[in-house]
Amino acid sequence: MYRAHILVCGGTGCTSSRSNDIIDEFNRQLEVNGLDKEVKVVMTGCFGLCALGPIVVVYPEGSFYSAVKIDDVKEIVEEHILKGRIVKRLLYREAGDPNAVNSLNDTRFYKKQQRVALRNCGIIDPENIDEYIAFDGYAALGKVLTKMKPQDVIDTLKASGLRGRGGAGFPTGIKWEFTARSQSDKKFVCCNADEGDPGAFMDRSVLEGDPHSIVEAMAIAGYAVGADQGYVYVRAEYPIAVRRLQIAIDQAKEYGLLGKNIFGTDFSFDLEIRLGAGAFVCGEETALMTSIEGNRGEPRPRPPFPAVKGLFGKPTLLNNVETYANVPVIILKGAEWFASMGTEKSKGTKVFALGGDITNTGLVEVPMGTTLREIIEDIGGGVPDGKKFKAAQTGGPSGGCIPASLVDTKIDYESLAAIGSMMGSGGLVVMDEDTCMVDIAKYFLGFTVDESCGKCAPCRIGTKRMYELLDLITKGKASMEDLDKLEELCNHIKSSSLCGLGQTAPNPVLSTLRYFRDEYEAHIKEKKCPAGVCKDLLQYRVITDKCVGCTLCAKNCPVGAISGELKKPHVIDQEKCIKCGVCKEKCRFKAIEIV
């Protein structure tokens, strides 16, 4: 028995700030102090508060240490572990609150969260199947195989109200039922882990922090729809997720939780990983299956839907990682428990990857129906540096912007669609007042242009033309007719593209046009970028009254565009200026303005 557990985050964020070395150092220090038989070091998945990594949590106290450095390890071991004195200096402090918070669950970041899909992330060692089993792992699979008929499983899911967490929100139980009803000698179960939205990383975190939940859920799905083979399609850019999932699959096989005659029944199920090569379009279900088949990842028209004719022409069930992560808990705790969370039409919880101009960058899980304000202000800690919240972008390149005026919107599938955005996979990018909405729309369009597979003309050519029009606007070279043309083009692409990528590509433009049309018009009519972002429309100038001639700006200008004598106001040569903003950043007297 260990009297204390030191949990160190091994998610991608904390790993990149050397949490692996911290684990090694803990083990070394414990040995030095002769504590290695009493205290255990555990690598876990993501705790969610990625902005303050590496995260270390010490149980039984639950002390929550943030931004731990290798040099801090010795102190934690010698003080906390050896003498029982918590190292207050390293405890997490909430923004604007000087008092350290001792325990994880006392933080504002966690208080409003409800962790269902992320239930084991940051609690178990993802590379140890026994720990997953200790937290009810594989009990749902056992229950399903020994006590439930396939139709019972489907009925439970239908009653729970679980909907697809990949973004579109199709009722999961109905999808399973369609696949189960298709007659065929062979069926497949697939998991979409090709998380490609810029700013979204919840699927990665589930795979890294709790890979067995996906293995278990897919086996349950196999039983419910009548499939004996599953594939997880993961992008190769997620090396940690891929490695841990492979470990999980190997362990499950070793325990006989995958393979033949699971739990002594006649149900057999096998699971394999397929790596995606990084094409965004492969997150679209038909393209994903084409890619698994070994062909170029391109979508095809639906119907036939995958439930009828999917992978290798056979009926196939395809769900997203987060959707699967919910399944074992629903089986164990029941449909009613799950349906008691959320709103009328959107049940359960949703994981969001919080990013952009927000204090607590990280991963949060909240019940459906939580308002955007609660997520941003209470959980996310608000916009940093006292700046104003301008808009939030959900759904990545397929989604839209929610303006500050709608910050009290309760988030669920319907309400987001009603205001021109979408749930998407759960990326939530917060933007402050210094963000130019035209520039943002252009950024997302640039992404779509790069990622369009080129199979259909509206998407391949249309998005490119849209990008060109946006480029003209940000350069102040567009007319009001161009704006009309842009809008018309949006509607055409939306209605005529082959797959979801093209159909949703205009959304960033349409939603910014809807809420920030004045910004577009300012670019066109006044040739001004109100947020001061679009370089072609702004100039850096020295405010002569404020400049004391310290020469700091001139020394730092990378192109030598600033000249002037010591102790006399300087001047910026507009011909030479590349508008990098270094002078404004360096000036201590706020003597540089953007006009």
Partner 1 sequence: MKSLEELKAIKEKMKSQVNIREGGDDKIRVVVGMATCGIAAGARPVLAAFLEEISKRNLKNVIVAQTGCIGVCRLEPIVEVTEKGKDKVTYVKVSPEMVPRIVAEHLVNRQVVSEYTIGAAE
Contact at 8 Å (CB) between 132 and 212?
yes
Q: Is the Cβ of residue 60 or residue 98 nearer to partner 1 in the bound state?
A: 60
Q: Closest approach of Cβ 208 to partner 1, in Å?
A: 18
What's the min distance (Å) between Cβ of 119 and partner 1? Answer: 12
Q: Which residue, 125 or 195, has its beta carbon nearer to partner 1?
A: 125
Q: How far is the CB of 311 from partner 1 (least distance, A)?
A: 27
- Residue 219 or residue 505: which is nearer to partner 1 going by CB? 219
By beta-carbon proximity to partner 1, the closer residue of 140 and 321 is: 140
Cβ proximity to partner 1, 139 vs 174, nearer residue? 139
Q: Using alpha carbons, list the distances in angstroms from residue 26 to 8, 41, 122, 277.
A: 10, 7, 17, 36
Tokens of 131: 């720990």
CB of 92 to partner 1, least distance (A): 17
Please, what is the minimum distance in Å from the beta carbon of residue 42 to partner 1?
Answer: 9
- Hey, how many other C-beta atoms are within 10 angstroms of the C-beta on 17? 17
Nearer to partner 1, 75 or 433 (CB): 75
DSSP string, 319-358: EEHHHHHHHHHHHHH-HHHHHTSB-SSSBSEEEEEEEES-
d(CA 569, CA 317): 69
Say how many CA atoms lie within 13 Å of 4 toward its Cβ.
23
Question: Under the rule (CB under 8 A), what is the footprint of partner 1?
Answer: 1-5, 7, 37-38, 59-62, 82-85, 105, 123-124, 130-131, 133-136, 138-139, 142, 146, 255-257, 261-264
Nearer to partner 1 (CB atom), residue 138 or residue 176: 138
To the nearest whole angstrom, how small is the minimum distance from the Cβ of residue 289 to partner 1? 30
For 133, what's the count of Cα atoms within 13 Å in the CB-facing half-sphere?
9
Tokens 């210094």 — which residue? 434
| DSSP symbol at 281 | G
Cross-strand pairs, 9 = 44
Kindly tell me the sign of the dihedral angle through the C-alpha atoms of 256, 329, 210, 59: negative
Backbone angles phi, psi at 542, to 5 degrees: -90, 130
Q: How far is the CB of 47 from partner 1 (least distance, A)?
A: 12
DSSP state for residue 184 in the 8-state scheme: -
State which H helix or E strand residue 196 sits in: none
Give least dist CB 343 to partner 1, A: 28
Which tokens in the block code for residue 106?
Answer: 């006392």
Q: How far is the CB of 124 from partner 1 (least distance, A)?
A: 7
| Number of other CB atoms surrounding residue 546 within 10 Å | 13
User: What is residue 313's DSSP assignment?
Assistant: G
Residue 83 or residue 588: which is nearer to partner 1 going by CB? 83
In DSSP terms, which residues pair with 40 in a beta bridge? 5
Minimum gap (Å) between residue 130 Cβ and partner 1? 5
> What kind and span of H or E run contains 183?
none
Distance in Å from the first CA to the final CA of the chain:
66
Question: Nearest distance from residue 141's CB to partner 1, in Å?
Answer: 9
* Cα dihedral 511, 514, 516, 519 sign: positive
Residue 79 Cβ vs partner 1, minimum distance, rounded to whole Å: 10
Beta-bridge partners for 427: 353
Alpha helices in 505-558 (DSSP H): 507-525, 552-556
User: Which helix (H) or strand (E) segment is 503 a member of?
Assistant: helix 500-504
Q: Which is nearer to partner 1, 79 or 593 (CB)?
A: 79
Name which of 77 and 234 has its Cβ closer to partner 1: 77
- Closer residue to partner 1, CB minimum distance, 40 or 309: 40
Q: What angle do CA 588, 592, 594 make, to 5 degrees?
A: 140
For partner 1, the closer CB: 47 or 515 = 47
